[in-house]
Structure 1
Amino acid sequence: MNPHPSLFLRAAWGENTPRAPLWLMRQAGRYLPEYRAIKARASFWEMVRTPELAAEITLQPLRRFPLDAAILFSDIMTPLPAMGLEVAFNPGPVVAEPVRTQAQIEALHLPEAEAIAPFVAQAIRLVRRELPPQVALIGFAGAPLTLAAYLVQGAGSKDYEVFRAFLHSEPGLAEHLLEKLSELTLRYLRLQAQAGAQALQVFDTWAGLLDEALYRRFGLPYNRRILKGLAGLGLPRIYLAVGAAHLYPAMAELPCEVLSVDWRTPLNRLRPLFPGRTLQGNLDPSVLLAPPATIAREARRVLEAGLGGAHIFNLGHGLLRTTPPEHVAFLVETVQQFPRKELVDGTP
């Protein structure tokens, strides 16, 4: 059987590839001048909700850098307005009326998949027409716990103390909200798969705020439900939790092919906990603000830690707004020149 032309997909399915495929979280967006030119004439929601603009922004980094995957330009909050919620960006997500009562949760509408965000499906189809077969397209969604953090808190926060208190004081309401968000997320990801996404990533940005006991109650079951619900699609499933090293024993129970790791834990330390899984990551995004020599040193450190199994090179979280594009170009070259094949084969 001929190998898949996409190195990213081969690695995502567990192949210990001769070169680590590379893509970067937030590679489509604010650090690129061509993105800022579009942003000067369109609001964030206009960019997300206009398929032609979302497709163009998704493709922009691929025109600059020989990356192995594209990720759709969107936001984890994108499916929420279909539930009847008013979400704005100022600059981060702001929910007009935080969701904290039974009546509010009962009122949340659960639309069918095709009605959640049809513009996302259209953008995916546009992007797939432009991508060569060796470049995979990643779809994504926010995990229920992370979405609930925004809905209950009402906006971004350092500690999400209102949300965390809500979990303790109203656990039944929290579970009801998480059940609805799980079904929404599952339908939304199936929509993306049907439109042509070739891998699906679940972002659990705020899972690390919880201890393991709370995560096992309010995070793990809902993530498991979503990931199990995607199993029949034949697409690799990727899970990312940020600042959550204390939760790795629980995350090892999730049915996903790829674990994306933030920059706080070396990849080789996680291999025994996730046998047979692909690890993704995990360069500190701030390294790309440093001189090229530092970028090369730190990238090689991540690549060396990624040996011993399937590895997709990425950052530990999203590209920073102030990242120079030329530093991204240097990183891509460094990763592609790393002699992984020789090290995997054990030959000099």
Structure 2
Amino acid sequence: MTRLPDDHPLVRGITADAPLLNQYRGTRTAAGEQQVPSRRPVWFMRQAGRSLPEYRALREGTTMLDACLDPEMAAEITLQPVRRHDVDAAIFFSDIVIPLRLAGIDVEIKPGVGPVLGSPVRTRADVEALPELDEAAFAPIAEAVQKTTAGLEALAQEQGRSAVTPLIGFAGAPFTLAAYMVEGRPSRDHLGPRAMMHGDPETWNALAAWAADVSGRFMRAQVMAGASAAQLFDSWAGSLGREDYAAHVQPHSAAAFSHVTGLGAEQGVEVPLIHFGTGTGDIIDLMRDAITEGAPQGSGARPAPGEEGSDRGAAHPVVGVDYRLNLTEAGRRVGAETPLQGNIDPALLTAPWEVLENHIRQVVASGAGAAGHVLNLGHGVPPETDPEVLTRVVSLIHDIGYEG
């Protein structure tokens, strides 16, 4: 089924012409007309989190994964940075290992460590023993998304805005999820998954396929419940060479995207899809292609340049760029028709304001050649960031006008 629910924000049109989606569509309105938005859109990865005192107060005494699976709490945490910073997107508060928890796998987020599994997955028998993820398990995710989108609509009404701030759903990419499962915990070099993909490729492909399925369905649950865009986040793909990524990872990322590509197409609406990784400058064109390769036949995915096809309902692949790669060079690697997201250096959030402002203006200038550009950090918000700095950054970006 590729139809979105009739009450979905995109189908109702309440988020369709938000500045964020305009840029994700390549500086186009929902009707496909070329038009710059009312302001430059910006949001931050990990904007809903430890940098906010209201987040720390709400989370006190609650584990990370329990907070993610409490619909009321997850919705409130997602809304906090939108209220405080006036960012142009809400990013759904969750964690990439939530699909594992929903499937019944023993996983916890240990403070100062990260995701830790009770039993790593290292053999074919381990993979074959992985549980199937029941569709009913996504109920708390759908409820949290619905509460969030209702809160975003109420906030827009309070502020007298016609366009509602869109919610972005997200999931961990198959390689990152599988890497955690093989190592059993975070790793700097990911020797385990890299060894498996070469030494036991059948087991690797079975594990990565399982991860692609649960991540893709996790994204789909968020979009079907009301998210207006979705991002696949690959924390560890930067540890791979280009050939390894193309042969052993890209097909599985495409499979994850296939769960969401084309949703809403027959209704004439588009759910933009973003692919982001850290240290992935050498493979960002392959990451872009994973989105389009995930498009099912007849899904309405965007035609290749020069081919005939309508922009209505088409899926623009959007590439997130980390702080290591200048956006001008990123645009050269993925093509000027590909919208970009990024890439303010998080380290400069603690620099003197003059240094940070100059850097932001350089990022804006370097992204000017792309079909669309959404400002973001080149990774997540550091926990020690002063929230007032983020608010000031948003205000600055909104004040930088579009030429012409």
Segments ≥4 residues shifted beyond 6 Å: none
Residue 227 of structure 1 deviates from its aligned partner by: 2.1
CA deviation profile, 1:60-80 (whole Å, cap 9, x unmatched): 111111111000110011111
Residue 246 of structure 1 deviates from its aligned partner by: 1.6
Of residues 180-189 and 306-315 in structure 1, the stretch that sits farther from structure 2 once superposed is 180-189
| Alignment correspondent of 1:106 | 128
| Alignment correspondent of 1:189 | 219
TM-score by length of 1: 0.94
| Alignment correspondent of 2:175 | 145
User: Is 1:69 matched with 2:89?
Assistant: yes
TM-score by length of 2: 0.81
Amino acid at match of 1:113: E
| Alignment correspondent of 2:23 | 11
Q: For residues 74 and 3 of structure 1, do their structure 2 counterparts lie closer, same or farther at Cα, with a shift above 3 Å needed?
A: closer
Number of residue-to-residue matches in the alignment = 341
Q: In 2, distance between residues paired with 1:119 and 1:252?
A: 31
Residue 5 of structure 1 deviates from its aligned partner by: 3.4
Q: For residues 121 and 252 of structure 1, do their structure 2 counterparts lie closer, same or farther at Cα, with a shift above 3 Å needed?
A: closer
User: Is 1:296 matched with 2:353?
Assistant: no
| Alignment correspondent of 2:399 | 337
Q: Compute the RMSD of aligned alpha carbons.
A: 1.8
Residue 160 of structure 1 deviates from its aligned partner by: 1.8
Residue 320 of structure 1 deviates from its aligned partner by: 0.3
Amino acid at match of 2:375: F
Q: In 2, distance between residues paired with 1:266 and 1:331?
A: 19
- Give the secondary-structure state (helix, strand or coil) at the position aligned to 1:321: coil
Q: In 1, distance between residues paired with 2:345 and 2:57?
A: 27
| Alignment correspondent of 2:323 | 263
User: Is 1:272 matched with 2:332?
Assistant: yes
- Give the secondary-structure state (helix, strand or coil) at the position aligned to 1:231: coil
Q: For residues 200 and 249 of structure 1, do their structure 2 counterparts lie closer, same or farther at Cα, with a shift above 3 Å needed?
A: closer
Matches for 1:197-346 after TM superposition, within 5 Å:
197-233=227-263, 234-254=270-290, 255=292, 257-275=317-335, 276-308=337-369, 309-339=371-401, 341-342=402-403, 345=404
Residue 102 of structure 1 deviates from its aligned partner by: 1.2
Q: In 2, distance between residues paired with 1:56 and 1:321?
A: 18
Of residues 326-335 and 268-277 in structure 1, the stretch that sits farther from structure 2 once superposed is 268-277
Contact 2:174 2:256 in 1 (8 A): no
Matches for 1:44-83 after TM superposition, within 5 Å:
44-83=64-103
Residue 3 of structure 1 deviates from its aligned partner by: 9.8
- Give the secondary-structure state (helix, strand or coil) at the position aligned to 2:276: strand
| Alignment correspondent of 1:26 | 46
- Give the secondary-structure state (helix, strand or coil) at the position aligned to 1:238: strand
Residue 39 of structure 1 deviates from its aligned partner by: 2.2
Contact 1:189 1:200 in 2 (8 A): yes
CA deviation profile, 1:222-270 (whole Å, cap 9, x unmatched): 1112223322213110000110112134234232521000011111112
CA deviation profile, 1:289-326 (whole Å, cap 9, x unmatched): 11211110111110111102310000011000110111
Of residues 323-332 and 248-257 in structure 1, the stretch that sits farther from structure 2 once superposed is 248-257
- Give the secondary-structure state (helix, strand or coil) at the position aligned to 1:201: strand
Residue 182 of structure 1 deviates from its aligned partner by: 1.2
CA deviation profile, 1:89-147 (whole Å, cap 9, x unmatched): 112110110001111111112224332x3211111000100113431000000011100
Which of 92, 117, 138 is the aligned partner of 1:95? 117
Residue 8 of structure 1 deviates from its aligned partner by: 0.6
Of residues 186-195 and 53-62 in structure 1, the stretch that sits farther from structure 2 once superposed is 186-195
- Give the secondary-structure state (helix, strand or coil) at the position aligned to 2:212: helix
Q: In 2, distance between residues paired with 1:251 and 1:50?
A: 32
Structure 1 gaps of 5+ residues are: none
Contact 1:84 1:108 in 2 (8 A): no
